[in-house]
Structure 1
Amino acid sequence: MAESADAPPGGRAWSRPALVVLGTAGVLLVAATGLFLGAVFLHVAPANTLSREYRDEVDGLVYPEFEQNWKLFAPNPLQQNVALDARVRTVEPGGATRTHDWIGLTARDVAAIRGNPAPSHADQNLLRRAWDFYEGSHSAQDDSLTNPRGKLAETYLKRIALQRIGRTVEGDRILEIEFRVTAATVPPPEWSGEAAPPAPKVRELPWWPVDDEDHRGLG
């Protein structure tokens, strides 16, 4: 079949509305990228008039997924091995509740890393950074909030666990979730002559309710 005389040679003809849509989408994408990069710049730049005026908006965009941590370039060795476990309480169709065994979230990540020549960033750091975020915004004595981002830290930690566990366990809907953290000091080398580290510290968080909003957007 012969090509239409109206079609441009060797190319596709875009209608004017399509070009308007593509152009608008391109402008919006460039503008959104510019705003995001500007917010990250204000986050890492020394305090100034703009960063102080829009601090809440910038922190809301950057934390927790896009936090800029300069220790990446001058890291301090980890002093503790932190293991995060979770367990859930489910409700049966008849209304009875059941508390399940602990699930080793950190142990699963470690298993995925061992023997993997290119482990994912999520397996290496997601849980650890989520716990650092929580620990930095809650009291170690009673888990009360110590800064305004505490609720965000709770939601972040909860959703990471629920993404891995799912909506149900053995067919029953998850009603609540609880976390347990075990922190063990890294032992010194034998030749150092230093004293043995103290026993691992175990910390259990309160039970947190789980609803449909906690699962929104999780794959």
Structure 2
Amino acid sequence: MESRQPDESRAGIPDGGGVTGAEAAAPAEPAEGEAAASPRPVLGVAGLSPVSRIIVALAIAVLVGVVTVHLGAGFLHVAPANTLSKKHDETIDRIVFPEFEQNWRLFAPNPLQTNIHVEVRAQLRMPGGDTEETGWVDLTAMDHENIRGNPAPSHTVQNELRRGWDYWTDTHDEDNRAVSDRADLAEDYVKRIVMRRLGPVLNEGRVEKIQLRQTSRRIAPPPWSSERWDTAPVYRELPWWIVTGEDLMESDREVWEETAQ
């Protein structure tokens, strides 16, 4: 049988006078008369002296503090009035003015501070021919009840009444007089929104007229605020509106017309 000779080219396996892996990995000794390699210089803050490190740290701390103060003062200056900005109002003005002397606010418009509810009452024609008047019905509260607990309320429930009412107030002055060519359209729009909620018949009586009013209540200030104001409701009543078949959906119109007979 032919004998196999060991392979001296395989690294890490000594064979007689071969070189081991550890010996191969060892750094070579510098030749006689050759200068040894100098160590790598330490870069960055770590290469500074202790005193220099302290100076750099103090400079960074001062810079961060100045930036934080200016950003905080600028935010409080443009944000709506709050306890912190009122307490340090003079200091904030000294920091901000005149460098940032602008007349704008971060939040526009400011958060609402008044709850506005739209209410309605109706004049009914009863089967015997008599006329009755209902009490006030809070339509906004009905919307809130439909939204509360609903993870995905419809846009109609959330916005229809509110935007319709805004449309009407934008086209009328404080005395309920029209100030726009769209005033009649706004009245028809709001009337139809309301009639879809009331329906053609209430308490067995046919809805002949409706009257709307706005109830405004200022939100009470939080306990920690020094501000105080009246939270009593303020009412704005609109005139009575006559209901016609055009103000009703087709299915409601049929019921409404049958009730009139």
2:123 — aligned with what? 89
- 2:139 — aligned with what? 105
Greater RCO (CA < 8 Å, at least 6 residues apart): 1
Counterparts of 1:151 and 1:167, CA distance in 2: 22
Give 1:217 deviation, angstroms: 4.8
Structure with bigger gyration radius: 2
What residue in structure 1 maps to residue 112 of structure 2? 78
Q: Which residue of 1 aligns with 2:178?
A: 145
Rounded to whole Å, the distance in 2 between the matches of 1:181 and 1:213 is: 24
Contact 2:114-2:216 at 8 Å conserved across structures: yes
Aligned residues: percent identity? 45
1:190–1:202 Cα change, 3 Å: same
Alignment of 1:5-20 (within 5 A): none
Q: Does 1:182 align with 2:215?
A: yes
Count of residues in correspondence between the two structures: 146
Name the structure 1 match of 2:24: none
For 1:198 and 1:74, the matched residues in 2 are separated by 24
1:215 aligns with 2:248: yes
- Post-superposition Cα deviations, 1:46-99, rounded to whole Å, max 9, x if no partner, equal xxxxxxxxxxxxxxxxxxxxxxxxxxx976422321111111111123432111
Q: CA contact under 8 A between 1:174 and 1:210: conserved in structure 2?
A: yes
The offset of 1:199, in angstroms, is 2.5
SS of 2:124's equivalent? strand
Name the SS of the counterpart of 2:178 in structure 1: coil
- Which stretches of structure 1, 4 residues or longer, exceed 3 Å deviation after superposition? 73-76, 216-219
**What secondary structure does 1:123 align onto?**
helix
In structure 1, the gaps of 5 or more residues are 1-72
Name the counterpart of 1:115.
Answer: 149
TM-score, length-normalised on structure 1? 0.61
Amino acid at match of 1:88: A
Task: Report the TM-score, using the length of structure 2 for normalisation.
Answer: 0.52
Structure 1 residues 125, 76: CA separation in 2 closer, same or farther (over 3 Å shift)?
farther
Q: CA deviation at 1:125?
A: 1.7
* Residue identity matched to 2:116: V
Structure 1 pair 76–156 and aligned structure 2 pair: CA distance change class (3 A): farther
Q: What is the identity, as a one-letter code, of the residue corresponding to 1:96?
A: D
Structure 2's unaligned 5+ residue stretches are 1-106, 253-261
**Aligned partner of residue 192 in structure 1, secondary structure:** coil
